[in-house]
Structure 1
Amino acid sequence: MLQTDSREHTEFRMDHDAAPAARTAPATPTAPATPAPAVCGELLFQRCLWCGTPAYRRSFCRACGSTAFKRERGTGAGALVRRIGQTPLNTWFVAMDEGFTLVCQVTRAEPVVVAVGARVRVVRAVGPLDQGLPHVELTYRATSLERWW
Structure 2
Amino acid sequence: MGGGELYFQRCRWCRTAVFRRLLCPVCASTDFAWELSCGTGVIRHVLAVRRSPGKQCALATINVNEGFWLCSRVIGVPPLIVRVGAPVCLAEGIESGPQGLLFRLCEPPQPPSR
**What residue identity is the alignment partner of 1:114?**
V
Any unmatched runs of 5+ in structure 1? 1-36, 142-149
Q: Please name the residue that 1:133 is paired with.
A: 100
Structure 2, unmatched stretches of 5+, are 51-55, 109-114
Paired residues, number: 100
Q: 1:70 aligns with which of 33, 37, 51?
A: 33
Return the alpha-carbon distance in structure 2 between the equivalents of residues 126 and 53 of structure 1: 24
Provide, for residues 7-37 of structure 1, a one-character-per-residue CA deviation record: whole Å limited to 9, x for no partner.
xxxxxxxxxxxxxxxxxxxxxxxxxxxxxx9
Counterpart residue type for residue 83 of structure 2: A
Which protein has the bigger helix share? Answer: 1
Q: Cα deviations across residues 98-131 of structure 1 (Å, max 9, x unaligned)?
A: 000100100111112111110000114533xxxx
1:100 maps to 2:68? yes
The answer to whether the 8 Å contact 1:103/1:133 transfers is no
What is the alpha-carbon root mean square deviation over aligned residues? 1.9
Higher strand share: 2
SS in 2 for 1:112: helix
TM-score by length of 1: 0.62
Greater relative CO, 1 or 2 (CA 8 Å, sep 6+)? 2
Tell me the TM-score normalised to structure 2 length: 0.79
Letter in 1 for 2:71: V
Shift of residue 63 of structure 1?
0.4
Counterpart of 1:126 in 2: which secondary structure?
A: coil
* Runs ≥4 residues deviating over 4 A: none
Identity of aligned residues (%): 31
